[in-house]
């Protein structure tokens, strides 16, 4: 796969650092990261929900952090000891540590998180500031009065 080097553009432009960083990240996939699986749903006009399948993890094993438009979900399960005299022959329930990052759009904030039946739900809300919302401008009708300019006699 071809890789484009944007470093010369960093030196000759101002204010486009985030754009070039995003373009760099497009060329580097998540290395096939697919664990844990997740869904992203729109629940209302400005609210969203991320659902992640985290079977076997408790609230104490999962941490969420939102920082500069990046939501990071980390999970690390402590090694649990089995009963005396038991031996695990096959482990099909994944207990590996994970870290999943989500790029959030501007003005999107995390409003809450809950864990139910092995699913982690993260609720998001888009709060657009009032000055950035589109506003309607009223058009006033002006009368068709023709004004005449009168010159004074010299």
pLDDT tens column, 136-145? 888 888 766 6
10 and 41 inside one domain? no
Q: Give the confidence band of 113 by pLDDT, cuts at 50, 70, 90.
A: very high
Question: What confidence score (pLDDT) does residue 142 get?
Answer: 74
48 pLDDT higher than 80: yes
19 and 5 inside one domain? yes
Give the residues across from 70 on adjacent strands. Answer: 67, 103
96 and 23 inside one domain? no
Confirm whether pTM is higher than 0.85. Answer: no
**Structural domain boundaries, residue 75:** 33-79+92-129
Choose among 64, 85, 83: nearest CA to 75: 64
- Residue whose entry in the numeric block shows the structure tokens 């058009």: 139
* 56: number of Cβ within 10 Å: 12
Domain assignment present for residue 71? The answer is yes
Domain assignment present for residue 102? The answer is yes
CA distance 25 to 22: 5
71 and 3 inside one domain? no
Domain assignment present for residue 144? The answer is no
16 pLDDT higher than 70: no
14 and 50 inside one domain? no
28 and 70 inside one domain? no
Q: What's the domain count of the chain? A: 2
């Amino acid at each position: 796969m071809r890789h484009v080097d944007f470093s010369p553009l960093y030196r000759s432009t101002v204010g486009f650092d985030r754009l070039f960083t995003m373009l760099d990240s497009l060329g580097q996939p998540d290395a096939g990261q697919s664990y844990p699986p997740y869904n992203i749903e729109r629940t209302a006009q400005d609210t969203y929900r991320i659902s992640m399948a985290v079977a076997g993890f408790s609230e104490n094993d999962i941490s969420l952090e939102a920082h500069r438009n990046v939501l990071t979900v980390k999970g690390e399960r402590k090694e649990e000891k089995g009963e005396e005299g038991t031996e695990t022959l096959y482990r099909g329930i994944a207990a590996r540590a994970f870290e999943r990052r989500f790029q959030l759009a501007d003005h999107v904030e995390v409003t809450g998180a809950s864990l139910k039946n092995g699913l982690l739900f993260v609720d998001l809300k888009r709060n657009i500031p009032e000055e950035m919302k589109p506003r309607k401008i009223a058009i006033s009708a002006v009368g068709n009065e023709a004004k005449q300019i009168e010159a004074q006699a010299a």
